[in-house]
Amino acid sequence: MTNSASASGVTPALPRASRGSHRPLGVPAVRLGQGGPLGAWQQRNADATIDHLISNLESSGVLDNFRRVIGESGAGYRGFVFADSDLYKTIEAIAWEIARSGADRWDAWLDDVIGLVGRVQESSGYVMTWIQGLHPEKKFAELDWTHEMYVLGHMIQAAVALDRAAGRDDLLGIARRFADLVDRRFGPGREEGICGHPEIETALVELYRHTGEQRYLDLAQRMIDLRGKGLLKVGGLGASYFQDHAPVRESKDATGHAVRQLYLNAGATDVYLETGEPALLDAMHAQWDSAHHRKMYLTGAFGSRHRDEAFGSDYELPSDRAYAETCATIADVHWAWRMLLASDQPATYAETIERELHNALAAAVGDDGTTFFYANPLQLRPDRFSEENAPRERQHWYSCACCPPNLARLFAQMSAYLATSTESELALHLYADAEIDVPAHLGGGVLKVETRYPDDGEVALSYDGPAPLRLALRVPSWSAVTTLDGEPAQPDADRYLRVDLSGARTLALDLTPRWTQAHHRVDALRGARAIEVGPRVYCVEQVDLPDGVALDDVVVIEGAALDLRTQEGSPTVSLTGAVRSPSGGLYAMPENDPGEQKDGVAIVAIPFATWGNRGSTAMRVWLPVV
């Protein structure tokens, strides 16, 4: 599995055509070590999360939902309409884990559940338990809400991953039969219909890539082409909720349900990668600007509204009310990776993925690997009550359990996102302790990356090959002083530093803690500052403050010194701030502000990635500034 030629096929999103200059290396070609968090997360995912998912698929009724259709269970249907997708995402996670580690301990379980899915599949190819078991009359009749194609999309992604990773095509056969049914009914020239929840688009492009059958690409493109034409029945949340308010090529604003928009964008970018249609890429660039330059939380999260799980207006980014669903960030990683593959200027996409991994996604899983956040606010008020989607603590499972298995498949495939190859160089986009198989056309062999990044900014690179390896090392925008073997080094205009590596060299990125502010239009963040170190956003938890100091009274001083330390292996930033007296009226004339303030208060900030692991106390990323 470590042969680079075959390994390059074992990856999500492997374009057949070449649009940008970058090609994936594949999951097995990039082996994360345990020197930094990415490898540790991947190992935790294998050791704890996947088995936790399997256990909960049973206890939450997902598997019984299949069994009851064929009389193997007497239980009632449980879960949301799209509960089948939890199973498929779990299978996909296992597939990428097999690609990574060659694990075979889930083979019997896979035999069992894939056999079950096969028995539930109708002769037509149809398989979706909510429809079959509860509402057969709704089959393909209420596409706005039934999620049938969404469920099929996740089945396809799992099936393709399993065949790529393990050469196992039983689920693929099931998925193709279901996809063929959809194609016969909704393919070009036939009935017009799209799914209320985008997802099938990216999956169908993957199925095309994996099978070589053009009709799957055509069907994906048809789903893109038909969106925004009013095919979906408008509900109380409006057509924009499921991005049916405007054609994809004309929709410039990221709007409506955030996960839906971002999956749709991943699918549209996939279609572009294969068809090269400029109008699709133009629309994606506009979407990118909207989502990332006007609607993204600092942690790489999306969706400021709980009510419809939606993007807010431009610059509407409240920390406490953030919905910031874990799945939206996962969807954005998928999309960003496809944009990277479509581009000759990949730095911005790689930097986005890095921000998302080290903040929103890192925080979405507890240290234990078996607790998860669904919503990821950037502020927790001291008296906020806890509910599933406005949490005080990570939960073991959710009534809508989309996030945990989505995290598992992302972490399992994450190594694929570290590096790409071009015709002439190996590009390193993310830094992590890893061994990377160098493609043969670049000299073969193994590039060793040794680092504790982002706990440390030093990245030791070594390569022993027949000729120097041409490396393109991404220099993050925040790295003010970057060095190579101790000498200042300047990246090219595309923010990659070119190095011909022979032997060992050390790249050092600048982890000087820095203050960050938000655009003046972000009302929720006016007069506040965040602390960042490298790719990480920091936060302050009440538990780290001196006795008697309430987090909501803490203020920081503009430009205060930030002292990065390591405590018990974990990085912290120490600073001196002040605390305001909570006295004073709710509203007052400025000249009547009591303004009492005690200086010299010791404040400790920790990475947002690790918040909420020491009980449930108040937390905030953005700190008021004097």
**Shortest gap between Cβ of 382 and a copy of itself (angstroms)?**
8
Pairing of strands 619-620, 528-533: unpaired
- Residue 403 annotated to the active site: no
**Quick check: 526 binds a copy of itself (CB under 8 A)?**
yes
Q: 465 with 502: CB under 8 angstroms?
A: yes
Q: Is 517 in the site for a copy of itself (CB under 8 A)?
A: yes
510 binds a copy of itself (CB under 8 A): no
Sign of CA dihedral 98, 102, 103, 109: positive
Nearest-approach distance from CB 483 to a copy of itself, in angstroms: 20
Q: Does 87 bind a copy of itself (CB under 8 A)?
A: no
Q: Which neighbouring-strand residues pair with 434?
A: 32, 449
Please report how close the Cβ of residue 272 comes to a copy of itself at its closest, in angstroms: 25
- Cβ contacts of residue 412 below 8 Å, gap of 6+? 27, 42, 45, 46, 92, 93, 94, 95, 96, 97, 99, 100
Annotated catalytic residue, options 402, 425, 532, 541: 402
Q: Determine, following the binding rule CB under 8 A, whether residue 584 of this chain makes contact with a copy of itself.
A: yes
CB of 542 to a copy of itself, least distance (A): 14
Q: Which of 97, 199, 309, 356 is catalytic?
A: 309
For residue 470, the number of C-alpha atoms closer than 13 Å in the C-beta half-sphere is 8
Part in contact with a copy of itself (CB under 8 A); list of ranges 267-275, 339-347, 400-408, 509-517: 509-517
251 near a copy of itself, judged by CB under 8 A: no
Stretch that binds a copy of itself, among 20-28, 279-287, 288-296, 408-416 (CB under 8 A): 288-296
Kindly compute the dihedral angle of the four CA atoms of residues 467, 468, 469, 474, in this order, to the nearest 10 degrees.
Answer: -170
Residue closer to a copy of itself by CB (options 127, 380) is: 380
Show the tokens assigned to 527: 């007069």
Candidate residues 135, 185, 285, 381; the one interacting with a copy of itself per rule CB under 8 A: 381
Contact 533, 511 (CB under 8 A): yes
Does residue 582 have a cis peptide bond before it, meaning omega lies within 30 degrees of 0?
no
Task: Name which of residues 534 to 563 contact a copy of itself (CB under 8 A).
Answer: 552-553, 555, 558-559
* CA–CA gap between residue 348 and residue 284 (Å, rounded): 14
Tell me the residue type at 603.
I
All residues at 6 or more sequence positions from 411 whose CB lies less than 8 Å from its CB, including other chains: 41, 42, 44, 45, 49, 93
Q: Minimum CB separation from a copy of itself for residue 308, in Å? A: 10
Is 574 a binding residue for a copy of itself by CB under 8 A? The answer is no
User: CB under 8 Å to 486, separation ≥6 — which residues?
Assistant: 506, 508
565 binds a copy of itself (CB under 8 A): no
For a copy of itself, the binding residues in 198-227 under the rule CB under 8 A are: none
Asked if 616 interacts with a copy of itself (CB under 8 A), we say no
- Least CB distance to a copy of itself at residue 377 (A): 12
Identify the three-state secondary structure at position 448. strand
Contact residues for 108 (Cβ-Cβ < 8 A; gap 6+): none
- Determine which residue in the list 520, 548, 569, 600 makes contact with a copy of itself, applying CB under 8 A: 520
CB nearer to a copy of itself: give 298 or 509.
298
Q: Answer yes or no: are the C-beta atoms of 471 and 498 closer than 8 Å.
A: yes
What's the length of the chain?
626
| Binding region for a copy of itself (CB under 8 A) out of 156-164, 407-415, 503-511, 515-523 | 515-523
Task: State which of residues 16, 119, 184, 519 lies at the interface with a copy of itself (CB under 8 A).
Answer: 519
What is the distance between the alpha carbons of residues 384 and 401, in angstroms, rounded to a whole number? 23
Among 119, 229, 233, 293, binds a copy of itself (CB under 8 A): 293
The reply to whether 360 sits near a copy of itself by the rule CB under 8 A is no
Cβ proximity to a copy of itself, 498 vs 526, nearer residue = 526
Q: Is 488 in the site for a copy of itself (CB under 8 A)?
A: no
CA-closest candidate to residue 19, choices 272, 350, 296, 327? 272
Residue that is written with structure tokens 């999951």 in the block: 27
CA gap 489, 481 in Å, rounded: 8
Name the segment binding a copy of itself (CB under 8 A); options: 126-134, 170-178, 198-206, 378-386. 378-386
CB of 291 to a copy of itself, least distance (A): 10
Residue 512: how many other CB atoms lie within 10 Å: 14
Q: How far, in Å, CA of 528 to CA of 213, rounded?
A: 53
Task: Say if strands 469-474 and 426-428 run parallel, antiparallel, or are unpaired.
Answer: parallel
Q: Does 238 bind a copy of itself (CB under 8 A)?
A: yes
Is 591 catalytic? The answer is no
Residue among 22 and 358 whose Cβ is closer to a copy of itself: 358
Pick the closer one to a copy of itself by CB: 138 or 384: 384
Instruction: Establish if 481 lies at the interface with a copy of itself (CB under 8 A).
Output: no
Which residue in the set 108, 189, 191, 385 belongs to the binding site for a copy of itself (CB under 8 A)? 385
Closest approach of a copy of itself to the CB of residue 557, in Å: 12
191 contacts: CB under 8 Å, gap ≥ 6: 185
Run of H or E residues at 619: strand 619-620
* DSSP track, 92-141: HHHHHHHHHH---TTHHHHHHHHHHHHHHS-TTS---HHHHHT-GGGTTT
Choice between 161 and 619, CB closer to a copy of itself: 619
| Smallest separation, CB 252 to a copy of itself (Å) | 12
347 and 355 in contact (C-beta within 8 Å)?
Answer: no
| Region 313-332 residues binding a copy of itself, contact defined as CB under 8 A | 313-316, 318-321
Among 11, 132, 157, 240, binds a copy of itself (CB under 8 A): 240
Residue type, 443: G
Counting contacts by CB under 8 A, is residue 298 touching a copy of itself? yes
For residue 310, the SS3 value is strand
Nearest approach in angstroms of CB 286 to a copy of itself is 15
Tell whether residue 80 is a contact of a copy of itself (CB under 8 A): no
**276/527 with CB nearer a copy of itself:** 527
Angle at 436 between CA 432 and CA 441, to 5 degrees: 140
- Give the footprint of a copy of itself on this chain (CB under 8 A): 238, 240, 292-294, 296, 298, 306-307, 313-316, 318-321, 379, 381-385, 514-524, 526-530, 552-553, 555, 558-559, 580, 582, 584-590, 593, 624
Residues with a known catalytic role: 309, 402
